Amino acid sequence: MAVKACLFDLDGVIVDTAKYHYLAWKRLANELGFDFTEQDNERLKGVSRVRSLEILLEIGGLSLDEATKEQLAAKKNVWYVESISTMDEREILPGVKSFFAAIRAAGIKTALGSASKNAMMILKNVGMVQSFDAIVDGNHTSQAKPDPEVFLLGAKALGLNPEDCVVFEDAESGIEAATRAGMRSVGMGSSEHLGQATIVISAMTEMSLERLIALGESN
Ligand code: BG6
Ligand code: MG
């Protein structure tokens, strides 16, 4: 099956904002009186803001009412937005720009499939809004990854079938979402977390148009 589109997660795939999310959640955890490690943070990758907070509180052994949870999620977001407000194109991850140039020149469509409600701000700051034929983010979805909704909406916006699309993801929940959407996937990171992906790479610099085409031709 020829690949007709690539659907990209944002945080940890296009830009390294995963670190800013982590630092803001860690700050909140510390304020609440417990520690939050990078290992714990793996569970939050790809997951919505509300669900991330629930996991964080579970790690800290805290149970809070809805109003407090809303306040805490808003507080974390203020810190996070502060970090991303000064981002510029230097924060685009290595290999992303050249891979986009290669696939777009070959007529392959691109879509964003992110859980973040801050996606547009980040894309604007790094100058990548025009790099996508469709943008689906946390403002358009009702189900968080590992639900396949975000990627199915991406394929639909491009007018393509799931089997035409390849998903790029750094989160375990995102790879599961891709699989459930009936799409092939490229896991970005370690096979320890991303073993379910069709292939795993450590950075976009390892990707090429040829490798993408080969992925479409594999079983
Ligand atoms: C995902 C991140 O892309 O977006 C998660 O991997 C994050 O860590 C989620 O919680 C929601 O982001 P935001 O910007 O709407 O809080
Ligand atoms: Mg991600």
**Ligand 1 proximity of 45 Cβ (cutoff 6 Å):** yes
Residue-level pLDDT at 218: 77
Tell which one of 42, 49, 53 to mutate to probe ligand 1, the residue whose CB is within 8 A of the most ligand atoms: 49
Hey, is 177 helix, strand or coil? helix
Catalytic, 164? Answer no
CA dist 54 → 50, 70, 123 (Å): 6, 11, 27
Confidence (pTM): 0.94
Q: Are 177 and 150 within 8 A, CB to CB?
A: yes
The answer, yes or no, to whether any atom of ligand 1 lies below 6 A from the CB of 119, is no
Number of helices followed by number of strands (H, E) in the chain: 10, 6
DSSP-derived 3-state class of residue 168: strand
Tell me whether residue 9 is one of the annotated catalytic residues. Answer: yes
Which domains does the chain carry?
Answer: 5-15+89-217 (3.40.50.1000), 18-84 (1.10.150.240)
- Ligand 1 pocket test: which of 8, 17, 21 has the largest number of ligand atoms within 8 Å of its C-beta? 21
Any ligand 1 atom below 6 A from CB of 146:
no
pLDDT digit of tens for each residue in the chain (219 aa)?
799 999 999 999 999 998 999 999 999 999 999 999 999 998 898 889 999 999 999 999 999 999 999 999 999 999 999 999 999 999 999 999 999 999 999 999 999 999 999 999 999 999 999 999 999 999 999 998 999 999 999 999 999 999 999 999 999 999 999 999 999 999 999 988 899 999 999 999 999 999 999 998 876
**Among 79, 66, 103, residue whose Cα is nearest residue 29:** 79
